[in-house]
Amino acid sequence: MKNAETRRRSGVSARGWAIAVCIALSQFTTGCIVGKQRPAATQPATAIDTEQGKPAYWWDKPPVTHITARKFDALWNACRDAVRARGFTSDRLDYRDGVLTTLPLVSKSAYEFWRSDVIDPADLADSSLSTIHRIVRFDLKKLANGGYQATPKVLIERFSMIQRRITSVDQYRDIFSLTQLDVTRANEEYGEVIPAYYWYPIGRDYALERQLAQDVRERLGRRL
């Protein structure tokens, strides 16, 4: 009888030690949340600063590179050919003011190895997981020494589309149809009207800007 009682107490003690060890280990394996958090499920995809959501905010950012040339025509043609070689289509060709822009081009995915409009691997992963497009702009101006300078800038914009409720099995065919999304939804919390689908800027592609500058220099070198 005494031996049974001893074994029972030993078993209880062993279980107590096991529970204590598990509790101690859990303190080291769990993370800590410091401060008030903002749950992602309650935030829209465009929960950013208002100014950063405007294209002008990113266009006004200083350039990271530029190209100089002695002749305006040679520099202009080199810029135009460089964007075309990267798959972009010219939009605004303002020869007098020295402004060259392109139409938005949906960025390549990882399997589109023949395209060259995305340079950075991280940007390629981003454009493979979501719908993103890029717009190129060249600004040309005359320098004090009589030469000319071209500055490339590339704006990145992400596609956003509001969620749609499917109440019948025959509606699944139209879930991604843009023609069915020409409506707006009112944001009851903020009293704003949200478009059914839109593009919003997320930054500049500095890697592509540097590559375009290099492309222009190579073309200028071949023309000399």
**Strands (DSSP E) found in 46-109:** 67-69, 90-94, 99-102, 105-106
Q: Is 166 exposed, middle or buried (0-12, 13-18, 19+ CB in 10 A)?
A: exposed
In a domain, residue 137? The reply is yes
Domain of 184, in residue numbers: 53-223
| 117 lies in some domain | yes
Q: Report yes or no on 91 lying in a domain.
A: yes
Q: Is 96 part of a structural domain of the chain?
A: yes
* CATH (domain of 176): 3.30.530.50
Residue 38 lies in a domain: no
pTM of the model: 0.70
- Please give the single-letter amino acid code of residue 37: Q
Q: What percent of the chain is helix, strand and coil (3-state, nearest 5)?
A: 40, 25, 35
Q: Is the pLDDT of residue 219 over 50?
A: yes
* Secondary structure (3-state) at 52: helix
Give tens-digit pLDDT for 100-128. 999 999 999 999 999 999 999 999 999 99
| Residue 62, pLDDT above cutoff 90 | yes
Helix (H, G, I), strand (E, B) or coil at 118: coil
pLDDT for 5-59, tens place per residue? 555 555 546 666 666 665 655 555 555 555 555 555 556 555 666 777 788 999 9
So what's the pLDDT on residue 55? Answer: 87
In the chain, how many domains are there?
A: 1
pLDDT value, residue 116 = 93
pLDDT band at residue 191, thresholds of 50, 70 and 90? Answer: low
